[in-house]
Amino acid sequence: MTWQAFVRHVADLLRRDGCTDVVVRQARSDRGIDITARTADGRSVAVQCKNRAGRASVPSADMQKFAGAARAVDRVDIALFVATCTFSREAQAIADLSGVITVNRDELEAWSAGVRLKTLR
């Protein structure tokens, strides 16, 4: 699946789980945020999507950029980083420190199969 199709897939999962105002941002002006949305109870959501093949993992630099954009620039309630791979140890540490929710390949497969994300409830 292309990265554009992957972003649309994640947007569809957000809608399926009750999010509204789901917007896929333009790639050149997204400020590190691919999708914005609102949960059913009104919380703001920012999503970064990384479609990586093979044994690649999300590096800390990608997590730093997203955490900064979601927390400092847009100040969202829920920062969600969805990847088709794993997260490096340092990227996961940054996510934990900054309150970013990570969704790795295994969690994405379960979400795609119908399991709702706890953070969106």
pLDDT tens digit sequence for 34-60:
999 999 999 999 999 999 887 789 999
* Burial (CB count <10 Å: 0-12, 13-18, 19+), residue 27: exposed
Could you report the per-residue pLDDT of 83-93, keeping only the tens digit for each?
999 999 999 99
Contact 95, 63 (CB under 8 A): yes
Q: Where are the beta strands (DSSP E) in the chain?
A: 20-24, 35-38, 44-50, 57-58, 78-83, 86-87, 100-103
Confidence at 28, pLDDT banded by 50, 70, 90: low
User: CATH assignment of 3-120, given 3.40.50.2300, 3.40.640.10, 3.40.1350.10, 3.10.20.30?
Assistant: 3.40.1350.10
What residue ranges do the domains of the chain occupy? Answer: 3-120
